[in-house]
């Protein structure tokens, strides 16, 4: 659920610390440095990075496109490649049959089967496209608050990690216990 959805789920964070001045240029540089790379045609299973709110599939942070009044609005994009287990099993069985026919043996060792599985998984990950997951963010820098429009544990953990890497600012998740 994104920022402009008819229903939203969100997680609130307190941002600890401050950025170097000028703030706008620092945020732009940090977003550009960790913009999401494309992993289609690559063996990577997952990638995490920043993208713009308006064009999430073409990350561009030209000028102050992410600034909306006193807020910074941008998105976190997580691309994952998931190979269905039955597809992997099918291609492994075909490769095992091919190897058995070539060698003239009746069985393959466990190491050979593991090697085939790894090889087939790498080949399939080159061919399968990545599935993008986009999570909108609103950051009120002056108040030190950040809202992530997701309550998924994995997405929030990736967000917390990339904010520390990109901006060198820790996030504190605001829930009943941390606000008390």
> pTM score > 0.85 for this model?
no
User: Residues 84-96: what's their mean pLDDT?
Assistant: 93
44-89: per-residue pLDDT in tens? 889 999 999 888 888 877 766 888 889 999 999 999 999 999 999 9
Residue 54 backbone zone (phi > 0: left; psi -120 to 50: alpha; other: beta)? alpha
Find, among 132, 122, 121, the residue nearest to 46 by Cα: 132
- Structure token pair of residue 132: 């993008």
Tens of pLDDT, residues 100-112: 898 888 888 999 9
Give residue 91's pLDDT: 94
Helix pair angle (153-167, 23-33), 10° resolution: 120
The pair of three-digit structure tokens given for residue 112, joined into one six-digit string: 């050979």
Say if residue 179's pLDDT is above 70.
no
CA dist., res. 19 & res. 170, Å (int):
12
Structural element, H or E, at residue 36: none
| Mean pLDDT along residues 149-177 | 91
97-110 burial, b for 16+ CB within 10 Å, e for fewer?
A: eeeeeeeeeeebee
**Mean pLDDT of all residues in the chain?**
88
Tell me the DSSP string of 114-168: HHHHHHHHHHHHHHSPPEEEEEEEEEETTTTEEEES---HHHHHHHHHHHHHHH-
Structure tokens at 47: 């990638």
């Amino acid at each position: 659920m994104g920022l402009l959805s008819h229903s939203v789920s969100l997680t609130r964070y307190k941002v600890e610390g401050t950025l170097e001045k000028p703030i706008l240029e620092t945020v732009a540089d940090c977003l550009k440095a960790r913009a999401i790379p494309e992993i289609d045609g690559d063996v990577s299973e997952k990638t995490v990075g920043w993208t713009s709110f308006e064009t999430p599939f073409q990350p561009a942070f030209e000028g102050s496109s992410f600034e909306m009044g006193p807020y910074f609005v941008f998105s976190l994009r997580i691309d994952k490649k998931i190979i269905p287990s039955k597809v992997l099993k099918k291609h492994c069985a075909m490769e095992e049959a091919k190897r058995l026919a070539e060698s003239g043996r009746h069985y393959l060792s466990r190491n050979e089967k593991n090697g085939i599985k790894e090889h087939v998984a790498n080949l399939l990950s080159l061919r399968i496209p990545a599935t993008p997951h986009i999570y909108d963010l609103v950051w009120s820098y002056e108040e030190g608050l950040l809202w992530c429009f997701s309550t998924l544990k994995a997405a929030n953990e990736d967000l917390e990690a990339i904010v520390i890497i990109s901006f060198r600012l820790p996030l504190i998740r605001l829930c009943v216990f941390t606000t008390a």
